């Protein structure tokens, strides 16, 4: 990790066969209360979390820090009660009526200059950051550099699979927290953990296992992404 970008972790949950949703692309709610508490713990350790527009549309809300000990931990570290919640989207065609915009959090939007126009003079987002597209993709290195300059030291990537693929493609994820949930979804159209074009075996990101924990029927894995 360099000093020009945040430390970036991905916090993800999958079925035993590596799916993040069923063949209808229903919002995934198969994680247990233990997994939700684990997710909240990692969110509480971040300065900001980032997720794609499809993830926001699927759930309509974002997960906030509610555990008293985690809120106290953030206070003692001089942080705000909640991390910044960042929506990254090329089109920014979000419904301003969803519950996300009523949650007591600081919201940032990352999009293109043209698609930011609708939101510029509205109150839903506390900060709007615009970046050009390069071959229909954002320059994530430039973006992460900018977030670091805004004080984001630890960033948690929450999904979806396209966003995770983009971060892996640009070699930006440092660590992955992965929960394996005890069900099999199957289906050739069911989304998997990482979408995009995919990787060849020879160039695939390699992982170093840092820890494992089994709670009832779930397996919690913590990986470091090995640098090439």
169 occurs within a structural domain: yes
In this prediction, residues 4-25 reach a mean pLDDT of 93
Quick check: 3 pLDDT over 90?
A: no
17 occurs within a structural domain: yes
Per-residue model confidence as pLDDT tens digits over 146-202? 999 999 999 999 988 999 999 999 999 999 999 999 999 999 999 899 988 888 998
2 occurs within a structural domain: no
Per-residue model confidence as pLDDT tens digits over 33-51? 999 999 999 999 999 999 9
1 occurs within a structural domain: no
10 Å CB burial of residue 204 (0-12, 13-18, 19+) is exposed
In this prediction, residues 80-107 reach a mean pLDDT of 97
Report phi then psi at 117, rounded to 5: -60, -40
Q: Which CATH number fits the domain that encloses residue 156? A: 3.40.430.10
Quick check: 86 pLDDT over 60?
A: yes
Quick check: 2 pLDDT over 70?
A: no
104 occurs within a structural domain: yes
Position 196 scores a pLDDT of: 84
Domain count, the chain: 1
Per-residue model confidence as pLDDT tens digits over 123-154? 999 999 999 998 889 999 999 999 999 999 99
Least confident range of 2-11, 102-111, 124-133: 2-11
218 occurs within a structural domain: yes
Report the predicted TM-score, pTM, of the whole model to 2 decimal places. 0.94
Confidence category of residue 1, pLDDT binned at 50, 70, 90: very low
Instruction: Provide the domain limits for residue 183.
Output: 7-226
In this prediction, residues 51-61 reach a mean pLDDT of 94
């Amino acid at each position: 990790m360099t000093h020009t970008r945040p430390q970036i972790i991905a916090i993800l949950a999958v079925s035993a066969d590596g799916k993040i949703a069923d063949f209808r692309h229903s919002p995934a709610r198969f994680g247990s209360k233990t997994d939700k508490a684990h997710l909240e713990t990692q969110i509480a350790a971040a300065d900001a979390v980032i997720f794609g527009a499809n993830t926001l549309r699927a759930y309509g809300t974002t997960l906030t820090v509610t555990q008293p000990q985690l809120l106290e931990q953030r206070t003692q570290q001089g942080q705000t009660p909640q991390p910044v919640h960042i929506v990254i989207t090329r089109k920014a065609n979000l419904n301003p009526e969803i519950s996300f915009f009523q949650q007591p959090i600081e919201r940032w939007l990352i999009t293109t200059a043209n698609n930011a126009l609708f939101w510029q003079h509205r109150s839903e987002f506390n900060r709007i950051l615009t970046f050009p597209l390069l071959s229909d993709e954002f320059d994530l290195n430039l973006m992460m550099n900018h977030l670091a300059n805004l004080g984001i030291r630890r960033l948690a990537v929450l999904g979806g699979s396209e966003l995770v693929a983009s971060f892996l493609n640009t070699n930006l994820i440092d660590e992955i927290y992965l929960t394996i949930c005890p069900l099999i979804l199957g289906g050739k159209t069911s989304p998997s953990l990482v979408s995009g074009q995919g990787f060849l075996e020879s160039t695939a990101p390699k992982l170093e296992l840092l820890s494992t924990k089994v709670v009832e029927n779930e397996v919690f894995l913590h990986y470091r992404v090995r640098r090439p």
